[in-house]
């Protein structure tokens, strides 16, 4: 029986009996600094990982109107999902009302349309927000959507301190890769820190930012760049929060991260392990926190949408399964598995359920949850972890030497790197260096009859009419007073959260709120990096 580089047995007798088939930290002879649950967290942030608690199965959903999305949420919860994740349509993500000329053709297309507190009521009808955690993928108008959520919770009599969830609130990656930003960087960062400081006092269980590498990876960056750009953005948010008067230990423990999971199985496992260690080391070196949790990298994972193909779409179910496996072996805290028909249209009820069942089979049938960091000690995984750590750290140091993530965004630094990586990736698929089954290898004549869900245009028209009716029927003087309070806060620099909450309770719409902010903050165009 041999031993690995960290001194534990490479072969362990396994039994089908649960009491024998469970490996905890006490069963292996890792030195203390390599244990999961202890710094630098390479092997995981919890001592026994999934032995104590499974990852959260948080399927991302949102389409059409709030009532339709509520129906999907209730189905997912009934089928065993353990957390909600809200996808918003493009107009909502840009702070536009559904009846805006700029929203035409996009209402309810890639997420749910949210215009007012009425939509939030429909969205969460029949769901106790004190019993379920909610993740909201929203960035430029994150303060607005979070304020809407709080306004509804207040209306339901749910104590703010009992609310659990995450708001993405990550504007830097919008400038870098996704393009759904509204305001200039400095003003956007002010909104980010307003939400953070308000939440510290009012919603202590809420994760106020989820720093996303997923969208940059979808845009074409490498695994190394995904780690480096994500963590350098995280450092920027910490720095800005401290400048706004917060303590490192008030902010860092409520910061979470969001990564993609791609097809290079062992590289992805090593990516998560390297990212945990690197975040610990970077935060310790720069901020010297007193709270150990400030250096823990907690993250959500989504399987890679960019790897899904319209050709032979059932193959996507297999891709998603392997990607989910690598995310779990890498120690994720929550997971979304994509539906196999997402390259064709909105997921059907059937494909969404299969995506959830994929996670449940992984958790309940494979027995991989019975071991802590099962691939630790693998020569390949340990070497890849070390390489990714070192390469990512050098890239983070380059960004820091150039003034930090926000200054690099303004100069187009990250954008240039991603464009070059995406181009190299495209060439490798075209020349066959990278195999994509059904596209450049084992392709066949397309005979698929799969159809994703199609958005009904009548829903968009109904949504637009509802906005008009809300504005016409609300108490005009109360709404106008609330809008004036938002403008005052925007000008004098006071925290915007309470004025926003009051405005939404008075039936002010999302578009009206963000128009006031546009008038005071201005707009901006990020460099493309080309």
What's the CATH code, domain 25-430? 3.20.20.240
Residues 6+ apart with CB under 8 A from 85: 58, 59, 60, 61, 134, 135, 136, 137, 336
Supply the DSSP symbol for 496: S
Say how far apart CA 426 and CA 439 lie, in whole Å.
13
Supply the DSSP symbol for 521: H
CA atoms within 13 A on the CB side of 76: 32
CA atoms within 13 A on the CB side of 355: 27
Q: What is the pLDDT of residue 7?
A: 33
Farthest-apart Cα atoms in the chain, separation? 79
C-alpha torsion angle, residues 412, 211, 193, 86 (rounded to 10): 120
Q: What is the pLDDT of residue 527?
A: 87
Q: Return the domain boundaries, the chain.
A: 25-430
* 530 residues of the chain, pLDDT tens digit each: 333 333 333 333 333 333 334 444 444 333 334 689 999 999 999 999 999 999 999 877 787 899 999 998 999 899 888 789 899 999 999 999 999 999 999 999 889 999 999 999 999 999 999 999 999 999 999 999 999 999 999 999 999 999 999 999 999 999 999 999 999 999 999 999 999 999 999 999 999 999 999 999 999 999 999 999 999 999 999 999 999 999 999 999 999 999 999 999 999 999 999 999 999 999 999 999 999 999 999 999 999 999 999 999 999 999 999 999 999 999 999 999 999 999 998 788 899 999 999 999 999 999 999 999 999 999 999 999 999 999 999 999 999 999 999 999 999 999 999 999 999 999 999 999 999 999 999 998 876 666 666 556 778 889 999 999 999 999 999 999 999 999 999 999 999 999 999 999 999 999 999 999 999 999 999 888 77
Distance of CA 259 to the CA centre of its chain: 7
- pTM for the model stands at 0.90
- What is the C-alpha end-to-end distance of the chain, expressed in Å? 54
Strand order from edge to edge, sheet including 56-57? 56-57, 334-336, 299-303, 255-261, 209-212
Residues 6+ apart with CB under 8 A from 492: none
């Amino acid at each position: 029986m041999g031993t690995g580089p960290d001194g534990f047995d490479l072969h362990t007798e396994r039994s089908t009996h649960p009491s024998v088939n469970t490996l905890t930290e006490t069963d292996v002879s890792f030195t203390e600094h390599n244990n999961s649950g202890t710094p630098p967290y390479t092997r995981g942030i919890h001592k026994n990982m999934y032995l104590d608690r499974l990852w959260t199965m948080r399927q991302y959903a949102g389409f059409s109107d709030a009532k339709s999305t509520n129906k999907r949420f209730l189905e997912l919860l009934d089928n065993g999902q353990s957390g909600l994740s809200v996808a918003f349509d493009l107009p909502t993500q840009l702070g536009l009302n559904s009846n805006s000329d700029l929203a035409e053709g996009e209402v309810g297309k890639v997420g749910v349309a949210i215009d007012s507190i009425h939509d939030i009521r429909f969205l969460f009808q029949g769901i106790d927000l004190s019993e379920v955690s909610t993740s909201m993928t929203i960035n430029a108008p994150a303060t607005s959507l979070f304020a809407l959520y709080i306004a509804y919770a207040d209306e339901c009599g749910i104590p703010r301190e009992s609310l659990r969830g995450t708001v993405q609130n990550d504007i830097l990656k919008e400038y870098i890769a996704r393009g759904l930003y509204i305001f200039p960087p400095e003003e956007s960062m002010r909104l980010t820190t307003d939400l953070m400081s308000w939440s510290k006092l009012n919603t202590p269980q809420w994760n106020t930012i989820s720093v996303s590498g997923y969208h940059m990876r979808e845009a074409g960056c490498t695994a190394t760049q995904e780690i480096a750009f994500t963590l350098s953005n995280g450092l920027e948010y910490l720095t800005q929060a401290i400048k706004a008067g917060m303590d490192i230990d008030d902010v860092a423990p409520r910061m979470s991260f969001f990564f993609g999971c791609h097809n290079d199985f062992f590289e992805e496992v090593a990516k998560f392990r390297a990212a945990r260690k690197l975040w610990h080391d970077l935060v310790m070196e720069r901020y010297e926190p007193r709270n150990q949790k400030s250096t823990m990298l907690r993250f959500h994972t989504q399987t890679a949408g960019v790897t899904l193909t319209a050709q032979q779409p059932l193959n996507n179910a297999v891709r998603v399964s392997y990607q989910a496996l690598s995310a779990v072996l890498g120690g994720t805290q929550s997971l979304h598995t994509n539906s196999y028909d997402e390259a064709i249209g909105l997921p059907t009820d059937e494909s969404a359920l299969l995506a959830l069942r994929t996670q449940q089979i992984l958790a309940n049938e494979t027995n991989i949850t019975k071991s802590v960091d099962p691939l630790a000690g693998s020569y390949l995984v340990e070497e890849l972890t070390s390489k990714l750590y070192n390469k990512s750290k050098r890239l983070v140091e380059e960004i820091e030497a150039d003034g930090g993530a926000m200054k690099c965004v303004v100069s187009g630094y990250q954008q240039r790197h991603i464009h070059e990586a995406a181009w190299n990736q495209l060439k490798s698929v075209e020349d066959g260096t990278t195999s994509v089954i059904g596209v450049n290898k084992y392709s066949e004549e397309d005979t698929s009859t799969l159809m994703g869900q199609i958005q009904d245009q009548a829903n968009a028209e109904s949504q637009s009419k509802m906005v008009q009716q809300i504005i016409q029927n609300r108490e005009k003087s109360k709404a106008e007073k609330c809008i004036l309070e938002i403008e005052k806060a925007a000008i004098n620099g006071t925290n915007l959260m309470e004025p926003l909450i009051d405005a939404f309770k008075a039936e002010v719409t999302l578009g009206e709120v963000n128009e006031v902010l546009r008038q005071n903050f201005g707009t901006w165009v990020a460099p493309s990096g080309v």
